[in-house]
Structure 1
Amino acid sequence: MPIEIKMPALSPTMEEGTLAKWLVKEGDEVKSGDIMAEIETDKATMEFEAVDEGRIAKIMVAEGTDGVKVGAVIALLEGEDEESAPQPAAKKEEATAPAPLDADHGKPADAAVAKEEKPAAPAPAPTSAAAHQDGERVKASPLARRIAADKGVDLSGVTGSGPNGRIVKADVEKAQPGAAAPAAAAAASAEAPAAAPKPAQVPDIPHETTKLSNMRKTIARRLTESKQQVPHIYLTVDVQLDKLLKLRGELNAGLESRGVKLSVNDLLIKALAVSLIQVPKCNVMFTPDQLVSFHRADISVAVSTPEGLITPVVTEADSASLSSISTRMKDLAARARDKKLKPEEFTGGTASLSNMGMFGIKQFEAVINPPQGMILAIGAGDKRPWVMPDGSLGVASIMSATGSFDHRAIDGADGAQLMQAFKTLVENPLSMLA
């Protein structure tokens, strides 16, 4: 049997990818660890390593192919082809069954295989072809395939009564051309997501179209699921920034010799992380049967790229220094835009932060990044009238921050405590450095 090389899942959110480039060709010898291909996922372009040793017998998916499903066979390592071994048995089947036979007598070749493997085993219950496909390949005897081609029968809709659900001659002769087995249809509908809405009709206006990237498809799917499945609750606070801006200036003066320049966002990442440790009921993840509480704060930070948003993770942000957060964030953001992040650098995270202040957006409500329990949306800081601590009216730099919380896991009062803790830390920034 040939060894099937299948499309790998190179990230937790990957359902399909683009086979960007083959680095081997048919006839090449490969061993474990050899780089075989470059695969574009929904987040990055990654190298695919060989696991088995052997010779590339056939490349099944050409480079540049989009939408290759995870688990689909993309190449074969040298071995006996699935259909070559059963050929003598198929000839016996053809010779001994000149007329249509029932399911029990129409599969001498298949029965022989079953007998050799397990003499006393009873015939297995019929199963749908959809349930026993190997990748995209339906298990069927060569004679059954030939008859199906002559009759115009789609084998994916035929129930197999042979060993391990293999389709045999009698199964095909019973099938109607073009008919699909109810079991196969049911299996397909169970595996497939809900039918997508029909695309809107494009108006007769001059336009151009752009093919959706894997990243854009994943963003669309995940955010739709989040809004449909996660009950959001939104809480907003106004935060005075003057002390934080002053501290940032002082720190940058001291860090200049080290080539480090802190952004306001770096300090806000730190403030959110410390807030999550102070209010642990918000540093959680909801699952259908349990609530996961985290003991550190890893912050996913939204980074805009030409193809869409990606959220690299600043790990242990609650205990990391500001200079470390700043250095790592600049590196992660640069590699995110170049699609060079590793899966572990954009997966995980206990909460997210999205800052649109640089675009002048005063306030917005972000969509939770599942399976996290919350995301903090940061608006622009600007000068506003403000009541000073002594009760006088003055002007201060004010920023609006909105937390989106998964109400299944986080109660409103707990979310309010987190927002209050965040506000206190930003307005008294030395406290988050202690």
Structure 2
Amino acid sequence: MSKKVQMPALSPTMEEGTLAKWLVKEGDTVSSGDLLAEIETDKATMEFEAVDEGKIAKILISEGSEGVKVGTVIAIIAEEGEDLAEAAQNDAAAPKADAKPKAEAAASAAPAADPAPAAKADAAPAQQDGKRVKASPLARRIAERSGIDLASLKGSGPNGRVVKADLEGAEKGAPRAAQATAPAAAAPTPVAPATAQDFGIPHEVVKLSGMRKTIARRLTESKQQVPHIYLTVDVQLDKLLKLRSELNAGLAGRGVKLSVNDLLIKALGVALVQVPECNVQFAGDQMLQFKRADISVAVSIPGGLITPIVTEADSKSVSAISTAMKDLASRAKDGKLAPQEYQGGTASLSNMGMFGIKQFEAVINPPQGMIMAIGAGEKRPFVVDDALQIATVMSATGSFDHRAIDGADGARLMQAFRELVENPLGMLA
């Protein structure tokens, strides 16, 4: 009997993905463990292995198809001795409405009536004045579970999109698509603000990648839902730079070269354990306080940003942190990180000093409770031992979720971080 190959969930939060590349073709023989395809999620491109063995009877979703829902049948595998043509007629024809080849994706963005009369299983009310209600997948699931009419809500997300926060306080069990008892007056058509495109300025339309869409959604929700508080300290770097030079001389034979960022990851990890009130996450009616510090480190990659995680940064040696970061950053740029390597983490660190940025305020990466923003080290007049001298100084700014972290606790973390960086032997003990 033929087997259905379904779009896999390659991470706990994955709902859809792009079928980037088929590694087999129809008629090929495959065994359990053979690579079938490359699947692009919002953060990485991952290889998908076969579970069953047999021959590829039919490929149902073409390369480059975007928005392929988890569970969609993407191919049919015929068992040994089974007729391929017969297996290809398996009654598991995949629903292709949500899968769009990249070449057709732009055209599909134009507003049009849904050609299928039946509502999709995962959608709440899908029509509003002939157009589909804009809502995040999470908002749709909550609305479906709670019996809330999405069409009755005003979205606060990008372009009026309904997000999770809009459902808070909404009346449960509200009737869906209720019929008005009398014709309502036509609402005035909103006028979109003029853009550079409207004035004929030469431009090109750049389609958003799945990663860029995820970044836009998560950071918008962070600024809308998380009350940020920012605390900045100036940190003298001279002792840390001297220690780094000495450590690198001793580690040269092992092929390890520490960066300043490696030492700052260590400092933040130790500081979070010293001030556990900041190593927390807000979780509705409770708070999670962590016993170790797993630091998500912002890494710029083509098309966006990803935050691979250095686990147990508080207890790892700086050489182990350096080795881990080089491996994680390299695989992040190749899109080869496993979900557990970039999902999670108890706090984040973002360093823009290499670009000459003096100071900035980073956006918290939910559900984490804080992120440390590192500016460039530069020679500045600085008071050392009650005397004005020239020292290498950087500005570090902590962004804290004020629901979970009080200002005084955030200040204690910044103080601990500064003391560790200015007296770096303390974090190596």
TM-score by length of 1: 0.72
The alpha-carbon distance between structure 1 residues 8 and 193, as it changes in their structure 2 partners (threshold 3 A), is farther
Q: Secondary structure at the match of 1:19?
A: strand
Q: Secondary structure at the match of 1:353?
A: strand
User: Partner of 2:397 in structure 1?
Assistant: 402
- CA offsets, 1:251-287, max 9 Å, x none? 1121122221111111100000000110111111222
Counterpart among 259, 263, 275 of residue 259 in structure 2: 263
User: Partner of 1:289 in structure 2?
Assistant: 285
The alpha-carbon distance between structure 1 residues 384 and 136, as it changes in their structure 2 partners (threshold 3 A), is same
User: Partner of 1:88 in structure 2?
Assistant: none
Matches within 5 A, 1:283-362: 283-362=279-358
Deviates more, 1:72-81 or 1:350-359: 72-81
Q: Is contact 2:222-2:365 (8 Å) kept?
A: yes
User: Partner of 1:155 in structure 2?
Assistant: 117
Q: Is contact 1:377-1:403 (8 Å) kept?
A: yes
Deviates more, 1:297-306 or 1:1-10: 1-10
State the aligned residue count. Answer: 349
Q: Is contact 2:4-2:92 (8 Å) kept?
A: no
The separation in 1 between residues aligned to 2:242 and 2:131, in whole angstroms, is 74
The alpha-carbon distance between structure 1 residues 302 and 272, as it changes in their structure 2 partners (threshold 3 A), is same
Does residue 367 (structure 1) correspond to residue 329 (structure 2)? The answer is: no
User: Partner of 2:215 in structure 1?
Assistant: 219
Deviates more, 1:36-45 or 1:190-199: 190-199
User: Partner of 1:163 in structure 2?
Assistant: none
The separation in 2 between residues aligned to 1:281 and 1:346, in whole angstroms, is 23
Q: Secondary structure at the match of 2:291?
A: coil
Seq. identity, %: 70
The alpha-carbon distance between structure 1 residues 158 and 412, as it changes in their structure 2 partners (threshold 3 A), is closer
TM-score by length of 2: 0.73
The alpha-carbon distance between structure 1 residues 362 and 13, as it changes in their structure 2 partners (threshold 3 A), is farther
Counterpart among 411, 414, 427 of residue 409 in structure 2: 414
The separation in 2 between residues aligned to 1:334 and 1:327, in whole angstroms, is 11
* Aligned-pair CA distance for 1:59: 2.3
Q: Is contact 1:274-1:318 (8 Å) kept?
A: yes
Does residue 33 (structure 1) correspond to residue 33 (structure 2)? The answer is: yes
Counterpart of 1:348 in structure 2: which amino acid?
G
* Aligned-pair CA distance for 1:219: 1.1
Q: Is contact 2:73-2:92 (8 Å) kept?
A: no
The separation in 2 between residues aligned to 1:49 and 1:206, in whole angstroms, is 45
Does residue 278 (structure 1) correspond to residue 274 (structure 2)? The answer is: yes
Q: Secondary structure at the match of 1:236?
A: strand
Q: Is contact 1:19-1:38 (8 Å) kept?
A: yes
The alpha-carbon distance between structure 1 residues 387 and 343, as it changes in their structure 2 partners (threshold 3 A), is same
Q: Secondary structure at the match of 2:46?
A: strand
- CA offsets, 1:19-46, max 9 Å, x none? 1112233455545433221111222211
The alpha-carbon distance between structure 1 residues 179 and 419, as it changes in their structure 2 partners (threshold 3 A), is closer
User: Partner of 2:424 in structure 1?
Assistant: 429
Q: Secondary structure at the match of 1:398?
A: strand
The separation in 2 between residues aligned to 1:292 and 1:325, in whole angstroms, is 25
User: Max radius of gyration: which structure?
Assistant: 1
Q: Superposition RMSD on alpha carbons, in Å?
A: 3.3
Deviates more, 1:373-382 or 1:31-40: 31-40
Q: Is contact 2:61-2:96 (8 Å) kept?
A: no
* Aligned-pair CA distance for 1:317: 1.0
Does residue 392 (structure 1) correspond to residue 354 (structure 2)? The answer is: no
Counterpart of 2:229 in structure 1: which amino acid?
I
Counterpart of 1:373 in structure 2: which amino acid?
G
The alpha-carbon distance between structure 1 residues 210 and 157, as it changes in their structure 2 partners (threshold 3 A), is closer
User: Partner of 2:202 in structure 1?
Assistant: 206
Does residue 59 (structure 1) correspond to residue 59 (structure 2)? The answer is: yes
Counterpart of 1:423 in structure 2: which amino acid?
R
Matches within 5 A, 1:55-94: 56-77=56-77, 81-82=90-91
The alpha-carbon distance between structure 1 residues 190 and 398, as it changes in their structure 2 partners (threshold 3 A), is same
Q: Secondary structure at the match of 2:395?
A: strand
Counterpart of 1:43 in structure 2: which amino acid?
K
- CA offsets, 1:344-377, max 9 Å, x none? 2212211110000011111101011111111100
Instruction: Kindly indicate which of the two structures has a greater share of residues assigned to helix.
Output: 1
Counterpart of 1:233 in structure 2: which amino acid?
I
- CA offsets, 1:298-329, max 9 Å, x none? 11111111211111111111111111111111
Does residue 229 (structure 1) correspond to residue 225 (structure 2)? The answer is: yes
- CA offsets, 1:66-108, max 9 Å, x none? 2323333323445784499xxxxxxxxxxxxxxxxxxxxxxxx
Q: Is contact 1:33-1:49 (8 Å) kept?
A: yes
Counterpart of 1:253 in structure 2: which amino acid?
A
The separation in 1 between residues aligned to 2:281 and 2:317, in whole angstroms, is 25
Q: Is contact 1:71-1:135 (8 Å) kept?
A: no
Does residue 245 (structure 1) correspond to residue 241 (structure 2)? The answer is: yes
User: Partner of 2:9 in structure 1?
Assistant: 9
The separation in 1 between residues aligned to 2:245 and 2:224, in whole angstroms, is 43
Q: Is contact 2:58-2:75 (8 Å) kept?
A: yes
Counterpart among 370, 374, 383 of residue 379 in structure 2: 383
The separation in 2 between residues aligned to 1:311 and 1:179, in whole angstroms, is 36
The separation in 2 between residues aligned to 1:384 and 1:407, in whole angstroms, is 32
The separation in 1 between residues aligned to 2:305 and 2:360, in whole angstroms, is 16
Q: Is contact 2:17-2:39 (8 Å) kept?
A: yes
The separation in 2 between residues aligned to 1:189 and 1:34, in whole angstroms, is 45
User: Partner of 1:168 in structure 2?
Assistant: none
- Segments of structure 1 that go 5 or more residues without pairing to the other structure are 85-132, 138-151, 160-177
User: Partner of 1:48 in structure 2?
Assistant: 48
The separation in 1 between residues aligned to 2:387 and 2:35, in whole angstroms, is 67
